[in-house]
Structure 1
């Protein structure tokens, strides 16, 4: 992953993991967005976990990048979408030219009536398609120059800057999400229901504690029947399917990166017994936890 020399990002250390924490007051007054270019980035061979969103533009670079369950090589004219809580490993990374936008989801919430607006963007939240996007040079330069404009606005910082920055990042994300959908054949998010946006947020933030439809329906203040209806409308899946698919993705990440044994992982995900945990993994992947991690160990 990457650390900025510009002190915009702080590091917290826990359980062998380095978590990146956004510094909201780098510029004095609170600001939930920042932008830097390659000379302000330092790449380290480590495991890091950001607490914020990162949009990384690689104009010229190479090296192996591991992002959650993905493993890919950096290429020129590539964008990488990194969401909060994701696990990032970078080995032998070189970025000769690049820009990075970092922001908290609340930055967009302040601008729109719909809270949790960031969850409308599949490029950050899809678990069915890659987290990177190769882009043709001409289009890449348009995005890249917009990132530069955002950086310039932050450095200039006038009374209107907050409004300008939100407009710029909103336009950029909409365009990139369209490009992402076209590239991978991913459906554009049509999440218009505020309850579904909140459901998306809860899936990413409470999946370890809550694995059943009733629990999510209760948190959302709606019935189980209503939640199922919404999931069928927006995902063409039952609420239970959506929850299980999200849960197994998080479990796979834990199996891949954690040093915990299977029992510890089972209880961390609130399973009543390790045997129930193993049964769930087998049901969802066709493999036992031991079989799943065997090729990773090699």
Structure 2
């Protein structure tokens, strides 16, 4: 179990992981609860101010960075989907919760004082269980994680819910999953509408009603997000990124990126590196 989950207090963890102030991504789930301190953190290039009682959640592949004051503390948990497979629970169990959808603004939550106290106690128990395993350790870790997720979701209340019909909510969830699976080479709403057996207009209406944006913008935002993730890590040149995202040529990709961000890919990369240095 220890190889599938890490649970620790934030202060000692951050001291032995100093690279976390630079933008990076993980291949595991990550959550952090603040009990005090100040500073800021970014998730997929959106910046958030550190506040006592705040908790955030991240899914594999998201990019983030930290810039905390020395007195910032709390609890951090990293876990792989294999944690839930230990007890034959659906490995995609975290996806049942709205804060594990990979949307930055929905994954950073300010808890009430009572909920924050409850989450802090759960985090402390989880940390102790991971560091000092006893009998039925796997069962207890999974049970505490599930209790943690449910407690946060209940505390969020209407913030994570939609008043739309359940069928539309399911269609939107399916659309987002399809976008996540195919965004690199399917760029048109009609392609996703066909897979969902609905019309492009109906898909567009659901997205506008529930997200305030068109289906095309949902797809475009995902492509731009991945482009930014690839650019900030500097492992691929712009031409390689354009090819990975199935643009016909580098010039078209550059025009697309600049149209919606105001910067060329190279300028965005330079700006991101400069921000990390400062």
* Same fold, judged at TM 0.5 (above): yes
> How many angstroms apart in 2 are the aligned matches of 1:233 and 1:291?
35
Tell me the secondary structure at the aligned position of residue 248 of structure 2: coil
Shift of 1:280: 3.6
Counterparts of 1:1-298 in structure 2 under 5 Å? 26=3, 32-38=4-10, 40-41=12-13, 42=15, 43-44=17-18, 45-109=21-85, 111=87, 114-127=90-103, 129-180=105-156, 182=158, 185-187=159-161, 203-204=179-180, 207-208=183-184, 211=187, 224-226=195-197, 242-255=218-231, 258=234, 262-281=238-257, 285=260, 287=262, 289=264, 293=268
Shift of 1:114: 4.6
Deviations 1:128-162 (A, max 9, x none): 62542222333211101011112233344344332
Contact 2:53-2:110 at 8 Å conserved across structures: yes
Greater RCO, 1 or 2 (C-alpha within 8 Å, sep 6+): 2
Distance 2:155 2:93 in 1: 19
- 1:216-247: CA deviation from partner (whole Å, max 9, x where unpaired): 89xxxxx6243779967985688765433322
Which stretch shows the higher mean deviation, 203-212 or 73-82? Answer: 203-212
**Greater strand percent: which structure?**
1
Give, in angstroms, the shift of residue 173 of structure 1: 0.8
Q: Which segments of 5 or more consecutive residues in structure 1 lack a partner in the other structure?
A: 1-23, 27-31, 218-222
Which SS does the other structure have where 2:225 is aligned?
helix
For residues 225 and 67 of structure 1, do their structure 2 counterparts lie closer, same or farther at Cα, with a shift above 3 Å needed? closer
CA distance, structure 1, for counterparts of residue 80 and residue 180 of structure 2: 15
Deviation at 1:168, TM superposition (A): 1.9
In structure 2, the CA distance between the partners of 1:162 and 1:188, relative to structure 1 (3 Å rule), is farther
Q: Deviations over 1:15-72 (max 9, x none)?
A: xxxxxxxxx654xxxxx22311135412513333222111111101222322221122
User: Structure 1-normalised TM-score?
Assistant: 0.67
Superposition TM-score, scaled by structure 2 size: 0.71
Post-superposition offset of 1:213: 7.0
Superposed CA RMSD in Å reads: 4.1
Note the residue ranges of structure 2 that are not aligned, 5 or more in a row. Answer: none
| Deviating more after overlay: 98-107 vs 274-283 | 274-283
